[in-house]
Amino acid sequence: MVEYWITDINLDNNKIEEVRALMNTIEGLSNTNIYSREEIIKSIEKTDDRWYASILKETKGARNIWERGAKIHVVNIDGKKFIRPEWN
């Protein structure tokens, strides 16, 4: 299982097209990588990977401190798949 923290979102017509995300590892958060909506959907549906929104807690110089936010899940609307956070 891998845990990803989404830091930035690129929208097209109010739909998430791609995101920048950090991978949370034993060593800490990795550098950001870009993932498409389709990659995230496959990751959630076909593996036990977990995706979360992240919240910028503070900035220390050139370093950002992030905390994990809401879990991301797949929503099927009229046969089309979308991703969105689970709000409590």
**Per-residue pLDDT, 42:** 96
Q: In the chain, what are the domain boundaries? A: 3-83
Express each pLDDT in 44-87 by its tens digit.
Answer: 999 999 999 999 999 988 889 999 999 999 999 999 998 988 87
Q: Give the Cα separation of 30 and 23 in Å (integer).
A: 5
**Residue 88: how many CA atoms within 13 Å on its side-chain side?**
2
Contact 3, 50 (CB under 8 A): yes
Q: Give the Cα separation of 17 and 87 in Å (integer).
A: 20
Amino acid at 35: Y
Amino acid at 36: S
Contact 7, 22 (CB under 8 A): yes
